[in-house]
Structure 1
Amino acid sequence: MPRSRRLVSTALFVPVVVISSSEAAEAVLRTHDLECCSRPKTFGTRKLSYGFKDISFSPYGAYWREMRKIAVIELFSLKKVQSFRYIREEEVDFVVKNLTESCLKQSSVDLSKTFFSLTASIIGRVALGQNFHESGFIIDQERIKTLVTDAVEALGTFTFSDIFQGGVGRFVDLMFQRHKKINKIFKELDAFYQHVIDDHLKPEGRKNPDIVSLMLDMIDKHENADSFKLNMDNLKAILMNMFLGGIDTSSIIMIWAMTELVRNPRVMKKAQENIRTILGAKRERITEDDLNKVDYLKLIIKETFRLHPPVPFIVPRETMSHIKIKGYDIPPRTQIQINVWTIGRDPKRWTDPEDFIPERFTNSSVDFRGQHFDLLPFGSGRRMCPAMSMAVATVELGLMNLLYFFDWGLPNGMEIGEIDMEEFGNLTIVKKLPLQLVPLRRC
């Protein structure tokens, strides 16, 4: 092939490198963390992040550093996460109450719906100051689920103009109306965010210490600043990160954890006996004070993250300069896709990688907090998820309550081998069929 033709053909495409080993992931996320710290710009992320004014998708630079600082210090600090503890506990109590009623009826429940409702309710109160259980709320939970699903799909979908540079990509997008669908989702989300903000701008609107109230106070504080200023688009972009990322991923990991526990009765029995023995048999309520008392549940959550990371390819990075990874030259403006799903099932790193064995983490230093590159559900380095501690607290508290207060059975004589494990999605991977289980009185 003539040299000139080869240059023209490669210029039409956006270069992508897929990382599928922990060694290469460590090279990207630790050795070359800064050089790989930017984000590719896609139509979906540009639109839904209000022109990259958020934390997750904005490119590396002074703006991102300021927003990251706000997230780490103001929004998701350990003190701030703990201040919302009462919300997580109240919402989990509400789930336990509803499941108890189903238990009395001996009826099956859709745990996929239950977990989504739980995480949506927590995020609704923490971020928006809105209680989804109240009848006057602007949008019902069924519509919220559809909207979150559509928006996450839009964020994870590359349009043709993202991949094929020039007029060809734009023409194909126009023909298939890709941009039209994303614009429609953005319009509905924007109206939702605006309604929440308008409520907070009323005289009585900032009665709760939620994220919207905090951000509005920060906008007022930065109004006369000479350099960095916040506006309503910044606030809406942060809401997008929390609303879409916070609801979806936490519910997904709880669904997969309960699915694996039901498929592995030995692990389920061991987990319940461990929790009930340590906490005692007559507890009326489980709180976050109990989370660090039960070690085996933490092993179960690690193993679930290994087999079923909610985001199998962590949000792509983009190189800002030339780097060398495992002997390969990677030029600037190359997308780096890290396949944490494959890394978590690598037979070179894990014994019996397809099996659900929480005990593999006993006496192991491997954790999911970004320092061990065999397990990366939240990423690592500068671009690591800043809201990890809030997500983990929700998952631990929800699962501990369900395992303490209830035994679990399969509906209608279903056998364990009949549980469907098919996955579905693009940016996030969910269990395709809802998880239906029967809550039973604790033995």
Structure 2
Amino acid sequence: MASTPSTAHPNLSECAFLFFIWIVSNLVVRFLINICINSRAKTRNPPSPRALPIIGHLHLLRFKLPESFQNLARRYGPLMQIRIGTSTTFVIASSATVAKEILKTYDIDFASRFEFGPTEYNIYSGDGFVTCPNNTYWLFMKKLCMTKLLAGPQLDRFNHIREQEIQNLLKSLFKSSREGEACDLAMELTTLTNNLLCRMALSKRCSENAEGAKEVRKLIVEIMQLGAKLGVNEALGPLKKFDLFGNGKKLVEAMWRYDQLFEQIIREYEDEIVDGQGKDDADLMSIVLEIYKDTNAEVKLTRNQIKFFFMEIFMASIDTLTAAIQWAMAELINHPQPFKRLREEINTVVGANRLVKESDVPNLPYLQAVVKETLRLHSPVPLIHRECTKDCTINGFHVKAKSKVLINIYAIMRDPEQWKDPDEFLPERFLINSNDKLGRHRMEIKGRDFHYLPFGGGRRGCIGGTHALLVTHVTLGALTQCFDWKVKGGEKIDINVGSGFSGAMPLPLVCYPIARFDPF
């Protein structure tokens, strides 16, 4: 009779091997857990509010983003993380101390910028100057701007353009005054800044051709508006991949129209160069094309880089400069005493027989104080953006490479620990003989004092600040010298910060100019 086979059992050596594997696995797991715990203990990420699925922290933000970030910073500290949508995370800096670390101590590591929103609709993606990384092209273009395009001698060459365009603005306002009509000061100032920039950049195209300036302006405004609509998609998580409302397609079409316009402009300039014309009145395009043709230049520019460079100049200058002058006029109209003091200063220094000039500005300290205080309260760019290129420790927290950083200069320049009555319009705080308790009157305007950053700071600070101040001082002085102002529909202007990332006024500045001094 056959025997029944017995059940197999593991031998002693197999049991010992399995036991050894179990011991080693436990040790490895414990080792990895300890590494993670120690790493977390050493790596302190910036604090962050509790996020919701899909939308992140979008529910905590309001239309006035700088103010929303300021309110959150009071609870979570001067360096925090905010997630918008499923994948876009920003590190928000909200104090002068943190700004100094970013813009001075670690300036080289934060010298790059990132692009907002989807980039697939930008036909010049990768060719930018304002948003490009800290690379050879950016260094070359910054040097070109600082030594040729926006250097003192070149700005001096444009002095007559500024005088003419400010006079054109005043003549338009005098016409409204004679007819007793209200004017949209925002539109008048936009025309001023648009014509100024067109003539500086493209004088051959715009000096005698108002339609050319309007065409450029129209395309730039259309592109900016479509870009702003697309920017909302950044907050919609997965939906940002889809062009739901067709704005992406419209943006591409508008940019191609701009491309065709500027290709035509470049060819006209090149034809003039061949004919030997236009060498005595070099505008910005002439200078850039000279570099473009130079075979010995450090960087060989492309036509796309030139086209996008001018687009960026228009985008960065027209609306921001207009907003700065608007805010100054709104504050002066709402505050009769500073308005009266400014006019008295101009009358004393300039007299009653001529219009204020750029050469008068150094002798008008209260005018300078009004402009500084306006830029403190209403910086045209209240959030400046940077990208971290390597891991850093900021304010004791770990900031990873590739982090998108926003510096909330709106909050910094309204910090109650640094400014007395931070939300009040007090130009006196910037006068040399003022009581320092009113504020930090000795502050420089170009980012060397990190409590006051109207033009940003560090190596990516605004390169057009000098030109902006020239125009703002003289225009504001002329509007104060020549007119009294009455607000349409009320005694004061409703001052509210605009929505989103912008520092623009949310409502049109409509008022009656009442002629007081006519220099013509």
TM-score when normalising by structure 1 = 0.88
**Selected match of 1:148 from 214, 221, 229:** 221
1:317-396 equivalences in 2 (<5 Å): 317-363=386-432, 364-396=441-473
Match of 1:433 in 2: 507
1:194-273 equivalences in 2 (<5 Å): 194-203=263-272, 206=278, 208-222=281-295, 228-273=299-344
**Selected match of 1:282 from 343, 353, 375:** 353
User: Deviation digits for residues 220-263 of structure 1, max 9, x if unmatched?
Assistant: 113x65x6201211211220121111111111000010001111
**Selected match of 1:75 from 126, 149, 171:** 149
CA 1:163 to 1:432, structure 2 compared with 1: closer, same or farther past 3 Å?
closer
| Matched-pair contact (CA < 8 Å) for 2:195–2:213 | no
User: Deviation digits for residues 123-158 of structure 1, max 9, x if unmatched?
Assistant: 0100111575855623637x8257426416626964
| Matched-pair contact (CA < 8 Å) for 2:104–2:458 | yes
| Matched-pair contact (CA < 8 Å) for 2:367–2:473 | yes
**Selected match of 2:483 from 388, 397, 406:** 406
**Selected match of 1:295 from 365, 378, 384:** 365
Match of 1:94 in 2: 168
| Matched-pair contact (CA < 8 Å) for 2:220–2:311 | no
Compute the displacement of 1:163 (Å). 8.6
**Selected match of 1:186 from 245, 250, 255:** 255
The residue type equivalent to 1:360 in the other structure is: R
User: Deviation digits for residues 266-290 of structure 1, max 9, x if unmatched?
Assistant: 111111111111111111x332111
Tell me, in whole angstroms, the C-alpha distance in 2 between the residues paired with 1:66 and 1:435: 40
Tell me, in whole angstroms, the C-alpha distance in 1 between the residues paired with 2:222 and 2:393: 37
User: Deviation digits for residues 342-362 of structure 1, max 9, x if unmatched?
Assistant: 112111111111111111112
Compute the displacement of 1:427 (Å). 3.9
| Matched-pair contact (CA < 8 Å) for 1:45–1:52 | no
Tell me, in whole angstroms, the C-alpha distance in 2 between the residues paired with 1:388 and 1:231: 26
Tell me, in whole angstroms, the C-alpha distance in 1 between the residues paired with 2:221 and 2:318: 8
SS of the residue corresponding to residue 286 of structure 2 reads: helix
The residue type equivalent to 2:289 in the other structure is: L
SS of the residue corresponding to residue 431 of structure 1 reads: coil
Tell me, in whole angstroms, the C-alpha distance in 2 between the residues paired with 1:260 and 1:149: 29
Tell me, in whole angstroms, the C-alpha distance in 2 between the residues paired with 1:290 and 1:244: 30
Which structure is larger by alpha-carbon Rg, 1 or 2? 2
CA 1:392 to 1:320, structure 2 compared with 1: closer, same or farther past 3 Å?
same
CA 1:313 to 1:153, structure 2 compared with 1: closer, same or farther past 3 Å?
farther
CA 1:276 to 1:146, structure 2 compared with 1: closer, same or farther past 3 Å?
farther
SS of the residue corresponding to residue 15 of structure 1 reads: strand
The residue type equivalent to 1:88 in the other structure is: R
User: Deviation digits for residues 337-395 of structure 1, max 9, x if unmatched?
Assistant: 01111112111111111111111112221132111111212111110111111111111
**Selected match of 1:84 from 142, 151, 158:** 158
Compute the displacement of 1:310 (Å). 0.7
Tell me, in whole angstroms, the C-alpha distance in 2 between the residues paired with 1:395 and 1:239: 22
**Selected match of 1:24 from 70, 83, 98:** 98
- Where does structure 2 lack aligned partners over 5 or more consecutive residues? 1-32, 37-53, 55-82, 433-440
Compute the displacement of 1:186 (Å). 1.8
Tell me, in whole angstroms, the C-alpha distance in 1 between the residues paired with 2:210 and 2:367: 37
CA 1:96 to 1:188, structure 2 compared with 1: closer, same or farther past 3 Å?
same
Compute the displacement of 1:415 (Å). 2.0
- Where does structure 1 lack aligned partners over 5 or more consecutive residues? 4-8
Tell me, in whole angstroms, the C-alpha distance in 1 between the residues paired with 2:120 and 2:454: 24
Runs of 4+ in 1 over 6 A off after TM superposition: 9-12
User: Deviation digits for residues 7-51 of structure 1, max 9, x if unmatched?
Assistant: xx9996243101111111111111110011112244666765823
**Selected match of 2:114 from 1, 21, 40:** 40
Tell me, in whole angstroms, the C-alpha distance in 2 between the residues paired with 1:185 and 1:96: 33
Match of 2:73 in 1: none
SS of the residue corresponding to residue 345 of structure 1 reads: coil
The residue type equivalent to 1:144 in the other structure is: R
CA 1:332 to 1:291, structure 2 compared with 1: closer, same or farther past 3 Å?
same
Compute the displacement of 1:333 (Å). 0.5
The residue type equivalent to 2:258 in the other structure is: L
Tell me, in whole angstroms, the C-alpha distance in 1 between the residues paired with 2:515 and 2:382: 36
Match of 1:305 in 2: 375
The residue type equivalent to 2:221 in the other structure is: V
CA 1:103 to 1:233, structure 2 compared with 1: closer, same or farther past 3 Å?
same
TM-score when normalising by structure 2 = 0.75
| Matched-pair contact (CA < 8 Å) for 2:229–2:247 | no
| Matched-pair contact (CA < 8 Å) for 1:54–1:238 | yes
Compute the displacement of 1:294 (Å). 0.6
Q: CA RMSD in A?
A: 2.8
Tell me, in whole angstroms, the C-alpha distance in 1 between the residues paired with 2:100 and 2:150: 25
Tell me, in whole angstroms, the C-alpha distance in 2 between the residues paired with 1:298 and 1:48: 39
The residue type equivalent to 1:294 in the other structure is: L
Match of 1:110 in 2: 184
Tell me, in whole angstroms, the C-alpha distance in 1 between the residues paired with 2:487 and 2:239: 48
SS of the residue corresponding to residue 68 of structure 1 reads: helix
